[in-house]
């Protein structure tokens, strides 16, 4: 076909309309061949491409914004001091409260680190997750991100000062005695920004939890493979991040350096992105097919109330000190292995079973994957919420705590399915050309073809090709 094919951006019904237009050209020929197969079939050339979304289109329910009700990240289970801090930050910076809630939960989890864990047979869960805040520049994502995570950076500064002093002593001892066998000091760092995979993995190999704080996640994701001198650097970096999210150990083998084992890694990622580039950033085939995008929790308070500057609350040093004290107690916690109460265990089992059934019934594999990942997310969020509740020092997550975590997970599920997914599916990166096989299967779905042999003759292909193509659906 010489005519230009326009990009497809609609839902399933729009796609079928497009296919029907092609079928109208094909149908008379097919019918003629079926009724008179002995006649010489005319030559029929199928179009080489028609843009359609990748994967099997789900029904329109994932694309109907009219059915979307604005969810809100709850705060009621958190301690009163944490609630006050969240509201103060949101009103001071004029940003949606949901941003602040997500940042606070993530920050508390990083401060506690791997010494706080929730064991649910057979898995060990840590308070870390991948978070993406979506909003226009006016939503002010950077300000609260810097504000809330500041105690983590202050902790790194204090650790670096101690490290510098110890390193000076170590270096002096080495100069004075070549046989000095003292242990070389290590800088234990919790916050990393724009860093290479090698540097991140080196920090993770120390055994500490790490957080990547990226003002713009687009830049972070676009940099995948940037530090690779050749080969599939981007794919290797994504693979390492997937392993890190799953707390699966991996080995780094480089010719230029010693082999390194990253054992039981645990890391959070948090940053922002604008709605415009979200689809092309997170919606590539490589990131969606690998499950990388599915592992992110998206915060997208699109209808948050705008607060005029003259009406904004002033951020006080007293409030900052209160938050620093809360995060400081997480750093100072003794190792704590959390358990679920009987009620919390029942609530989680019901939630996870329902998720599994929904995922199994889901026609869209991507959405099914999102739902299944929530079974892990909800446990991680339960730990983080526990750390910011009045029960932070207790070894048991209560039923109320689990119920709160489930409400958080419901928020992230709704946001991902109803708001993020249409942006991903609408991106040019997630569209692929329609092959001859795609059109053949579409024709056979729309019409009852009694003779594959006759259809093969009309199309000018073998019956084996038709049979094989239809079996691939």
Label residue 175 exposed, middle or buried (CB < 10 Å: 0-12, 13-18, 19+).
exposed
Cβ partners under 8 Å of residue 196, min gap 6: 227
pLDDT at 248 > cutoff 70? yes
Could you tell me if 398 and 341 are in contact, meaning their C-beta atoms sit under 8 angstroms apart? yes
Q: What is the mean pLDDT of the chain?
A: 83
Tokens of 77: 């289970």
Cβ partners under 8 Å of residue 415, min gap 6: 71, 298, 299, 300
Helix (H, G, I), strand (E, B) or coil at 55: coil
What would the pLDDT profile of 136-177 be if each residue is shown by its tens digit? 887 889 999 999 999 999 999 999 999 999 999 999 999 999
Cβ partners under 8 Å of residue 378, min gap 6: 348, 351, 352, 402, 405, 406, 408, 409
Measured distance CA(160)–CA(154) in Å, rounded: 10
- Among candidate residues 69, 75, 71, 70, the one with its CA nearest the CA of residue 404: 75
Could you tell me if 260 and 338 are in contact, meaning their C-beta atoms sit under 8 angstroms apart? no
pLDDT at 132 > cutoff 90? yes
In eight-state DSSP terms, residue 160 is H
Could you tell me if 297 and 132 are in contact, meaning their C-beta atoms sit under 8 angstroms apart? yes
What would the pLDDT profile of 359-391 be if each residue is shown by its tens digit? 999 989 999 999 999 999 999 999 999 999 999
Range 64-92 average pLDDT? 83
In eight-state DSSP terms, residue 229 is S
pLDDT for 69 equals 60
What would the pLDDT profile of 203-243 be if each residue is shown by its tens digit? 999 999 999 999 899 999 998 876 554 444 578 899 999 99
Measured distance CA(286)–CA(146) in Å, rounded: 30
The model's pTM: 0.76
pLDDT for 252 equals 77
Answer with the residue of higher pLDDT: 395 or 34: 395
Question: For the range 259-266, what are the long-range contacts, defined as Cβ-Cβ under 8 Å and sequence gap of 24 or more?
Answer: 260/201, 260/202, 260/205, 261/205, 262/201, 262/204, 262/205, 263/205, 263/207, 264/114, 264/207, 265/204, 266/113, 266/114, 266/126, 266/128, 266/204, 266/209, 266/210
Strands 191-192 and 130-134 come out as unpaired
**Beta-bridge mates of residue 216:** 272
Could you tell me if 238 and 287 are in contact, meaning their C-beta atoms sit under 8 angstroms apart? yes
The residues spanned by each domain of the chain are 12-51+433-471, 75-337
Label residue 122 exposed, middle or buried (CB < 10 Å: 0-12, 13-18, 19+).
exposed
E-strand stretches of 210-340: 210-216, 250-254, 257-262, 267-273, 296-299, 336-340
pLDDT for 72 equals 92
Measured distance CA(312)–CA(171) in Å, rounded: 51
Measured distance CA(297)–CA(415) in Å, rounded: 9
CA dihedral 350, 357, 426, 8 (to 10 degrees): -160
What would the pLDDT profile of 460-472 be if each residue is shown by its tens digit? 788 888 887 777 5
Torsions phi, psi for 56 (to 5 deg) = -85, 120
């Amino acid at each position: 076909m010489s005519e230009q094919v326009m990009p497809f951006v609609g839902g399933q019904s729009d796609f079928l309309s497009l296919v029907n237009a092609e079928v109208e050209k094909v149908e008379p020929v097919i019918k003629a061949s079926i009724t008179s197969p002995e006649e010489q079939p005319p030559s029929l050339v199928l179009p080489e491409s028609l843009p359609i979304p990748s994967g099997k289109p789900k029904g329109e329910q994932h694309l109907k914004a009219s059915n979307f009700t604005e969810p809100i990240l709850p705060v009621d289970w958190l301690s009163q001091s944490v609630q006050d801090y969240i509201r103060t930050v949101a009103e001071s910076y004029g940003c949606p409260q949901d941003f602040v809630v997500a940042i606070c939960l993530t920050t508390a989890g990083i401060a506690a680190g791997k010494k706080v864990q929730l064991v649910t047979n057979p898995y060990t869960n840590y308070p870390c997750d991948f978070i993406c805040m979506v909003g226009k520049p006016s939503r002010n994502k950077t300000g609260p991100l810097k504000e809330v995570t500041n105690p983590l950076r202050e902790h790194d500064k204090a650790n670096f000062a101690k490290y510098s002093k110890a390193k000076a002593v170590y270096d002096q001892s080495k100069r004075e005695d070549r046989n000095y066998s003292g242990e070389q000091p290590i800088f234990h760092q919790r916050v990393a920004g724009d860093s290479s995979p090698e540097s991140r993995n080196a920090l993770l190999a120390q055994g500490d939890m790490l957080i990547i704080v990226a003002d713009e996640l687009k830049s972070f994701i676009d940099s995948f493979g940037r530090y690779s001198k050749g080969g599939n650097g981007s794919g290797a970096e994504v693979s390492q991040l997937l392993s890190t999210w799953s707390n699966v150990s991996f080995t780094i083998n480089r010719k230029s350096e010693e082999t390194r084992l990253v054992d039981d890694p645990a890391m959070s990622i948090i940053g922002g992105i604008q709605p415009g580039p979200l689809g092309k950033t997170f919606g590539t085939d490589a990131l969606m097919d690998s499950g990388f995008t599915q592992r992110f929790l998206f915060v997208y308070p699109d209808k948050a109330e705008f607060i005029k500057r003259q009406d904004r609350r002033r951020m006080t040093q007293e409030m900052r000190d209160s938050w620093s004290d809360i995060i400081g107690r997480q750093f100072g916690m003794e190792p704590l292995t959390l358990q679920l109460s009987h009620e919390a265990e029942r609530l989680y089992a019901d939630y996870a079973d329902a998720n599994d059934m929904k995922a199994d019934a889901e026609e869209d594999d991507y959405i099914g994957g999102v739902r299944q990942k929530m079974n892990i997310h909800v446990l991680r969020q339960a730990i983080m919420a526990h750390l910011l509740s009045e029960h932070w020092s207790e070894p048991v997550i209560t039923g109320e705590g689990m119920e709160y975590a489930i409400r958080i997970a419901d928020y992230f599920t709704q946001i991902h399915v109803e708001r993020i997914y249409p942006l991903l599916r609408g991106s040019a990166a997630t569209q692929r050309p329609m092959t001859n096989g795609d059109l053949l299967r579409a024709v056979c779905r729309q019409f009852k073809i009694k003779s594959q042999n006759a259809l093969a003759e009309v199309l000018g292909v073998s019956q084996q090709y038709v049979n094989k193509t239809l079996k691939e659906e």
